[in-house]
């Protein structure tokens, strides 16, 4: 898997991603402590509002970025986002009012909504071979999971030496380091959008979403996003309730439970590149989603059982299973979008995925918290489990089983050097090749 790091452009981009993730992790810890200083016992509500603002920024800003992406150099967009995030992090130690936190969080997350889809669209251009790209997706999944484990530990070690305000300075250096690495990377030249792809700002902003609704596999991905959001919300929001209230375990066991979720995700991310050489994305992703519903059933057994020492190890196994199944769905997502979207539309497509997936979390996060607090964890498990089951069954229905027969076909309207033509043979009228063709209109095939 590490062989993909021999590609200099991807190596710089991946390192930038890791540094920025660590900086974000440090900021998350520091933000919690800042909220407590400002609001005391109401810190939870401050953080809850901040998370809601984060999701709103993601949902609203990412499509707008897709609308202007073809007008701005990708390097400028990514570096500008990193510098904006660094500026916000530098300002946070001087905040004295809760409303100021909300404003800065919106700006910070808006910049992230600009950076992430652009980064995701650059990677497949830098790694045109599908095997390399699959390895890159697994590495990115590992980076996210390792950050969730490593950053809190690093923050705890640093807080034994410095005050939490200095953690924001670490965040600043993280984003500045990310910007420097993006500047040093030789980014592939994007494919120019054709003259027929103009339109109003609204049309451009919704182009990625329209691609999702026009393509069967991407419509299924929308449902899969909802299934994953139901599971991840249960883990993120209610882990502390299960560990501290239901099982009467210590604070450190909360980290152990979250670590089990991350471990399950990382194991699958390591195994997927070889697995995807032998089976289709559809098989892996749909089976992962259906197993999610089985895991919810296991969680229901733990939740409805009144007591028993077996519940703690069972919860760890359940959380690891949630991580593994979510990774089965999330890791191949980039491959799906890459095949469905022509190169000039990739930023819009990844922006749509970013926005639409976070719309699902915007629904499931408060639902998991509100149901757990008002009507009990049993209701939360039943409701979110039902959402995961319905979404998984809908994905199976939406995703055609015969999505990809290898058919030989010709392209007469693509320029020389187009990434889609890797391995194609030259013919007088254009190019001929064969591959697993997506069902529906994807910008390159008529369906």
Mean pLDDT score across all residues of the chain: 81
Q: How does DSSP classify residue 243?
A: I
Most distant CA atoms of the chain, gap in Å: 74
pLDDT for residue 427: 66
Residue 152 has pLDDT above 70, yes or no: no
pLDDT digits (tens, 9 = 90+) for 180-195: 999 998 887 765 554 4
Any idea which residue has 């390591």 for tokens? 270
pLDDT digits (tens, 9 = 90+) for 297-338: 999 999 888 778 899 999 999 999 999 999 999 999 988 888
Three-class secondary structure of residue 193 per DSSP? coil
Three-class secondary structure of residue 375 per DSSP? coil
Whether residue 35 contacts residue 47, with contact meaning beta carbons closer than 8 Å, is answered with yes
Residue ranges matching CATH 1.20.1250.20 in the chain: 1-187+198-205, 206-403
Domain 206-403: CATH class, spelled out: mainly alpha
Q: What own/partner pairs with CB < 8 Å and gap ≥ 24 does 242-247 have?
A: 242/315, 242/377, 243/315, 246/303, 246/311, 246/377, 247/311, 247/312, 247/315
Instruction: Give the containing element (helix H, strand E) for 115.
Output: helix 98-126
Of 42-56, 178-192, 269-283, 341-355, where does the model show the most confidence? 269-283
Hey, what CATH topology would domain 1-187+198-205 get? Answer: Growth Hormone; Chain: A; (1.20.1250)
pLDDT for residue 113: 84
Q: Which of 100, 194, 137 is nearest to 13 (CA)?
A: 137
pLDDT digits (tens, 9 = 90+) for 393-447: 999 999 987 654 444 456 666 676 666 666 566 666 666 665 554 444 445 554 4
Residue 216 has pLDDT above 80, yes or no: yes
Mean local confidence (pLDDT), 39-66: 75
Residue 168 has pLDDT above 80, yes or no: yes
Percent of the chain scoring above 70 in pLDDT: 83
Q: Which residue has the higher pLDDT, 411 or 244?
A: 244
Whether residue 59 contacts residue 358, with contact meaning beta carbons closer than 8 Å, is answered with yes
């Amino acid at each position: 898997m590490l062989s993909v790091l021999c590609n200099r452009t991807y190596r710089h981009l991946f390192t930038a991603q890791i540094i920025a993730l660590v900086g974000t992790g440090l900021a998350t810890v520091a933000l919690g402590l800042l909220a407590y200083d400002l609001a005391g016992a109401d810190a939870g509500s401050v953080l809850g509002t901040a998370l809601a603002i984060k999701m709103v920024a993601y949902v609203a800003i990412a499509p707008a970025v897709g609308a202007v992406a073809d007008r701005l150099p990708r390097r400028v967009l990514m570096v500008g986002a990193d510098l904006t995030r660094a500026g916000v992090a530098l300002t946070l130690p001087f905040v004295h009012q809760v409303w100021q936190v909300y404003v800065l969080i919106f700006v910070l997350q808006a910049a992230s909504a600009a950076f992430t889809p652009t980064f995701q669209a650059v990677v497949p251009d830098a790694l045109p071979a599908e095997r390399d790209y699959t390895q890159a997706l697994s590495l990115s999944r590992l980076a996210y999971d390792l950050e969730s484990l490593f950053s809190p530990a690093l923050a705890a070690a640093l807080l034994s030496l410095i005050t939490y305000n200095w953690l924001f300075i670490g965040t600043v250096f993280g984003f500045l380091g990310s910007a420097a690495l993006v500047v040093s990377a030789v980014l592939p030249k994007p494919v120019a959008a054709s003259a027929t792809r103009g339109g109003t700002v609204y049309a451009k902003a919704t182009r990625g979403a329209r691609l999702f609704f026009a393509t069967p596999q991407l419509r299924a991905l929308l449902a899969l996003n909802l299934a994953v959001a139901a599971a991840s919300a249960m883990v993120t929001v209610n882990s502390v309730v299960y560990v501290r209230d239901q099982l009467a375990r210590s604070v450190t066991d909360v980290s152990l439970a979250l670590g089990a979720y991350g471990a399950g995700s990382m194991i699958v991310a390591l195994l997927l590149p070889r697995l995807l050489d032998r089976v289709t994305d559809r098989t892996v992703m749909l089976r992962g989603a259906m197993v999610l519903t089985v895991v919810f059933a296991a969680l229901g057994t733990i939740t409805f059982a009144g007591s028993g020492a077996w519940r703690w190890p069972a919860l760890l196994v359940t959380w690891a299973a949630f991580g593994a199944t979510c990774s089965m769905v999330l890791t191949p997502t980039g491959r799906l979008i890459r095949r469905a979207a022509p190169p000039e539309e990739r930023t819009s497509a990844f922006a749509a995925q970013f926005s639409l997936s976070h719309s699902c979390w915007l629904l499931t996060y408060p639902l998991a918290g509100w149901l757990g607090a008002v009507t009990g964890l049993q209701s939360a498990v039943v409701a979110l489990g039902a959402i995961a089951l319905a979404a998984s069954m809908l994905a199976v229905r939406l995703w055609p089983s015969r999505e990809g027969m290898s058919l030989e076909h010709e392209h007469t309207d693509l320029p020389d050097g187009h990434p889609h033509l890797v391995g194609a043979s030259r013919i007088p009228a254009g190019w001929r090749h064969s591959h697993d063709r997506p069902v529906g209109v994807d910008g390159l095939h008529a369906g």
